[in-house]
Structure 1
Amino acid sequence: MHKIFVSTFPFCRTSPKALEVLESNGCQVVVNPLGRKMKPSEVTEAAQNFDALIAGTEELTPLVTTTNSLKLISRVGVGLDSVPLDLCKEKGIAVAYTPDAVSPAVSELALSLIVDAMRKVTYSDREIRRGEWTRPYGERIGGSTIGILGFGRIGKRVASHLLGYLPKEILVCDLLDQMESITRFSESAIQIAKMNGILGKNWNETSITQVDLETLLKNSDAITIHVPLTKDTKNLLDQSKLSLLKSNAILINTARGGIVNENDLYHSLKEGKFSAAAMDVFDEEPYKGPLCELENVILTQHMGSCSNDCREDMEREAAENVVGFFSGGSWERVV
């Protein structure tokens, strides 16, 4: 019988499917008893003698460094910044993830935060609760320039959602050449413009262009981040980069805390250097930092993946990776 520790939180909140997958295949399962994200020391102590770990975004270096029993880490999600991959490879610990299940929920949240920040929805809600009623004006996605930093699974989904809003242009920044994908999106943009009956009526189809980071930051009305956290993207958007944003720009981060320097973001927003931001991810979670003081920032609880269906799919796939690994079946191998 294989012993499985589940450190991620929440787990099986709305569906028992993942637990059923594990237990029906003879696994002995212990689930995070704390009801919150576990600290590295807590994961290390709790999972020390288990065969496999089903993990969220907990920092796992201390556990991997000290364990002599762990054979598999199965991530509920796609990001691997909290997993010491080289050390896992050195110690013979396999790593799995669920790269596709998370994309629909994260991309929809990113889009909703763009709309929220541009139209000042949350700000208006706060005004009403204070007894105020200014009917604030905002901007539309239609006719705007939207920047997508990172054009992988989630970035592409965001682009597909944006096309229906008829933005003026979408700027893509990615390390890889994305021309093939951009061509397909451009063809779709023409069809969408035709379906809306606007093509040729003083309206051109949405242009989609791959650009460098500086061009994206300087020209976008809204920027949404979809890159992994690595040594190269840590503090990627610091004071110098944030200073390039247009005064009316908004910044959305549903990727990982640490990509945007939170201290620099706080001062930029407080000083009105650009319009607003929406942050779903933070250096330390739960977040209790100074961004809470500002009216022009929307804060959410690392909930990009937290739709009922996507969370169930992620957890089930993470469980299936465990079963597949130990039974010699199929699983999503990373290292």
Structure 2
Amino acid sequence: MSKLLISTSSFDVKSNQVLQNLQAQGFEIVLNPYGRKLKEPEVLELLSNDIVGMIAGVEPLTRNVLTATKSLKVISRCGIGTDSVDLEAAEELGVSVHITPTAPVIAVAELTVSLILSLLRRTSEADRTLREGKWNPLMGRLLASQVVGLLGYGRVGNRVGQILKAFGAKRVAYDIFRDDSLFADTVCISSLDEFIARSNVITLHIPYNKDNHHLVDRDFINKMQAGSILINTSRGGLIDEQALYDALVSGHLAGAALDVFEEEPYSGQLRTLPQVILTPHMGSYAKEARIQMEQEAAQNLFDSLVNLGLAK
């Protein structure tokens, strides 16, 4: 019997009519038993020789993983990026790769803006101190008075820029894949150093790859304005977390918010800092967005199986 692997940490199979249809055709669905991002050995274990298609999360689908599985034909990513998939190996092995490019955009953008607001107005800090029995109003800053730097101006970065416009914040953007048609309401900066220097809020919206590993390193952070804040709802591995910790402890940066981490689940020392907001990789976890994303991922999988003559 052919099997389908759903490797995301959660997935509502019962409410997904496409998957119900595939089950009715005889496909067995294998779920992620860990309830978290899978590690490479765990992916290898789950991708048995009977798996012909998978709905993937952000687990590492490396060349080693893809060459080890002999029957896999389709990877349907439940999300935007493909940085966790070795696309070159997938093409060589005849494995098609698909994404859900639109579903997570609004959810990730709204979480990003909520984190910026919370850092500037220090709402998380105030909540914690009040729960500790201290009545201590904290002085914050206005979003309307900030220059927000959008590092990456694709779908999510563009949506964040649109939302920020309503708050009156100045917006600058840096993107190596510059598309001038996207920059109608945002200042496009051609130099990364100038982008860093002009921003006092920087939010990351770029994919991860080996070339930008720790792009936000100690040098990058030192170039940021004193008192700046940093947000990452994109991918772990973009930020040198030790350098970020040191800059926060020294006071060079006023705050940071991270939804993604180099190692997940995260258990590092940033948890000890009150000026840091940490969320467990939940950027796309808005109910409406998640439903749409799961439906699109399942449909992409189904369409590919049909094209291969494996489903009808």
Does residue 157 of the first structure (1) align with residue 154 of the second (2)? no
Deviates more, 1:292-301 or 1:61-70: 61-70
Taking the TM superposition and a 5 Å limit, the aligned residue runs for 1:43-122 are 43-49=43-49, 50-61=51-62, 62-122=64-124
For 2:40, the equivalent position in structure 1 comes to 40
For 1:192, the equivalent position in structure 2 comes to none
Three-state SS of the structure 2 residue aligned to 1:260 is coil
Distance 1:209 1:42, change over 3 A: closer
For 1:243, the equivalent position in structure 2 comes to 222
* Alignment check: 8 A CA contact 2:55 2:297 kept: yes
One-letter code aligned to 2:8:
T
Three-state SS of the structure 1 residue aligned to 2:281 is coil
1:226 is aligned, of 205, 229, 239, to: 205
Distance 1:232 1:148, change over 3 A: same
One-letter code aligned to 1:326:
L
For 1:126, the equivalent position in structure 2 comes to 128
Q: 5+ unaligned residues in a row in structure 2: which ranges? A: none
- Rounded to whole Å, the distance in 1 between the matches of 2:23 and 2:274 is 47
For 2:254, the equivalent position in structure 1 comes to 275
* Alignment check: 8 A CA contact 1:217 1:245 kept: yes
Q: 5+ unaligned residues in a row in structure 1: which ranges? A: 187-206, 330-335
TM-score using structure 2 length: 0.93
What is the RMSD computed on CA atoms of the aligned residues?
A: 1.8
Alpha-carbon shift at residue 317 of structure 1 (Å)? 0.9
Three-state SS of the structure 1 residue aligned to 2:167 is coil
- Rounded to whole Å, the distance in 1 between the matches of 2:33 and 2:113 is 33
Alpha-carbon shift at residue 312 of structure 1 (Å)? 1.2
For 1:181, the equivalent position in structure 2 comes to 182
- Rounded to whole Å, the distance in 2 between the matches of 1:33 and 1:180 is 44
* Alignment check: 8 A CA contact 2:40 2:60 kept: yes
1:262 is aligned, of 237, 241, 250, to: 241
Deviates more, 1:27-36 or 1:67-76: 27-36
Deviates more, 1:256-265 or 1:25-34: 25-34
Alpha-carbon shift at residue 166 of structure 1 (Å)? 0.7
* Alignment check: 8 A CA contact 2:147 2:199 kept: yes
Three-state SS of the structure 1 residue aligned to 2:212 is coil
| C-alpha distance after superposition, 1:214-236 (max 9, x if no partner) | 12211212111000001222100
Number of corresponding residues: 306
- Rounded to whole Å, the distance in 2 between the matches of 1:14 and 1:258 is 34
Alpha-carbon shift at residue 289 of structure 1 (Å)? 0.7
* Alignment check: 8 A CA contact 1:123 1:296 kept: yes
Three-state SS of the structure 1 residue aligned to 2:210 is coil
Alpha-carbon shift at residue 19 of structure 1 (Å)? 3.2
Distance 1:46 1:227, change over 3 A: same
- Rounded to whole Å, the distance in 2 between the matches of 1:14 and 1:126 is 38
Does residue 287 of the first structure (1) align with residue 288 of the second (2)? no
For 2:31, the equivalent position in structure 1 comes to 31
One-letter code aligned to 1:88:
A
For 1:5, the equivalent position in structure 2 comes to 5
- Rounded to whole Å, the distance in 1 between the matches of 2:306 and 2:13 is 27
Distance 1:234 1:21, change over 3 A: farther
Three-state SS of the structure 2 residue aligned to 1:275 is strand
- Rounded to whole Å, the distance in 1 between the matches of 2:17 and 2:111 is 24
- Rounded to whole Å, the distance in 1 between the matches of 2:7 and 2:134 is 44
| C-alpha distance after superposition, 1:73-125 (max 9, x if no partner) | 11110121211111111211111111111101000000000000111010111
